[in-house]
Amino acid sequence: MRTIHAALDLGINLIDTAPAYGFGHSEEVVGRAIAEYGGRDRVVISTKGGLERRGDKLFRNSRRDVIRTEVENSLARLRTDYIDLYFVHWPDLDTPYEETAAALGALQKAGKIRGVAVSNYSIAAMERFHAITPLSAAQPPLNVFEREALRDIIPWCRERGIGTLTYGALCRGLLTGTIDESTKFDGDDLRKVDPKLVAPRVSQYTAAVRELEAYARQRYQRGIIPLAIRWTIDQPGVSVALWGARHPSELSPVIDVMGWHLDDEALSAIDRMLSSTIRDPVGPEFMAPPERASGADAKIPAAPI
């Protein structure tokens, strides 16, 4: 609550959440925080659907009836009568994209959602979706180390006037400068399987982080977090760079992000640093989507097309 209020005080006006974050708890906290703060019309709420909870697991399910139910549940948890941006969290390979798009288009016409969007979709999937219900935004991963979206998703969106809310600006904490080769991750932390954070690549990536940090201090008198976020925001076609905070103190870099830009010399210097330190680069492909359940027990894991 305090973190959300602090973000709003700083002028941040978009909050991205999802039922999958804490099985609805995140949406409840966001809804309560905005209600207590006041000024709903000054906050852009972005949330997601298409992941169905079964016990303590999530499965991709973007059928028409499921989407309708999820939107109503999100509206209740968020304490609002409309959602500014509603994303399909992951593509559901068992449900036609056209069915999901039509369902969201109907909810948009009813005033329940204002903008229809997708996350982790390929261009082929977005084209089918967009033909039925025009997309307002897409949400691909993007950061200094993971640039795949700059080659396809972001240019495609830019050509069509579709916004991009990129996630992972700090590469799951790697670009904060707080992770080194001795860092261990507990439980089901996704970073345990991130190839960038295990041998042999972890030493390459942490070396790159140290060089980036030194460059940010020397050239801009700023830390690596503002540099990493600024890099993402300054990419052509990027509308928003999302990153998370759990405590008000983690929002302090926001001030250092605004009011400046990386010039061509800086962008080239960053590229050279990465080329000299990272011998075996790897993207975000390891982030497998939740499984898709067909029937009571069937599980069909698959990467998004």
Token output for 244: 């998370």
- Average pLDDT in the chain: 92
HEC string of 263-287 equals: CHHHHHHHHHHHHHHCCCCCCCCCC
User: Domains of the chain: which residue ranges?
Assistant: 1-139, 172-235+246-298
Predicted model pTM: 0.90
Omega of the bond leading into 226 within 30 degrees of 0 (cis): no
Least Cα distance to 289 among 142, 90, 145 occurs for 90
Residue 294: strand, helix, or coil: strand
How far is the CA of 88 from the CAs of 17, 47, 100, 271, 299, in angstroms? Answer: 12, 9, 9, 33, 20
In the predicted structure, residue 213 carries a pLDDT above the cut 60: yes
Taking residues 204-226, what's their average pLDDT?
97
CATH number of 1-139: 3.20.20.100
Sign of the four-CA dihedral 136, 290, 146, 128? negative
Q: Classify strands 57-60 and 51-54 as parallel, antiparallel or unpaired.
A: antiparallel
Contact in structure between 164 and 157 (CB atoms under 8 Å): yes
Active site residues: 21
Residue 37: strand, helix, or coil: helix
Range of lowest pLDDT (80-84, 114-118, 242-246, 270-274): 242-246
Q: What is the CA radius of gyration of the chain?
A: 19
pLDDT band at 303 (very low <50, low <70, confident <90, very high): very low
Give the pLDDT score at 244: 84
**CATH architecture of the domain formed by 172-235+246-298:** Alpha-Beta Barrel (3.20)
Give the pLDDT score at 210: 98
Token output for 108: 């948009």
Range of lowest pLDDT (118-132, 190-204, 235-249, 288-302): 288-302
Range of lowest pLDDT (35-49, 66-80, 90-104, 275-289): 275-289
Contact in structure between 116 and 101 (CB atoms under 8 Å): yes
**One fold for 1-139 and 172-235+246-298:** yes
Give the pLDDT score at 291: 61
Taking residues 258-263, what's their average pLDDT?
96
**Which residue type is seen at 224?**
I
Give CA–CA dist 143/11, Å, rounded: 23
Give the pLDDT score at 302: 35
- Tell me what percent of the chain is helix, strand and coil, each rounded to the nearest 5: 45, 15, 40
In the chain, which ranges are E strands? 14-16, 44-49, 51-54, 57-60, 83-88, 113-119, 137-139, 163-166, 240-241, 292-294, 298-300
Query: Does 189 or 177 have the greater pLDDT score?
Result: 177
Least Cα distance to 136 among 153, 121, 114 occurs for 114
- Residue 74 pairs in a beta bridge with none
- Per the listing, tokens 């801009």 go with 220
Indicate left, alpha or beta for 137 from its phi (over 0: left) and psi (-120 to 50: alpha): beta
Give the pLDDT score at 289: 63
Give the pLDDT score at 58: 84
- Per the listing, tokens 């941006």 go with 85
- Residues 114-166: pLDDT tens digits? 999 999 999 999 999 999 999 999 999 999 999 999 999 999 999 999 999 99
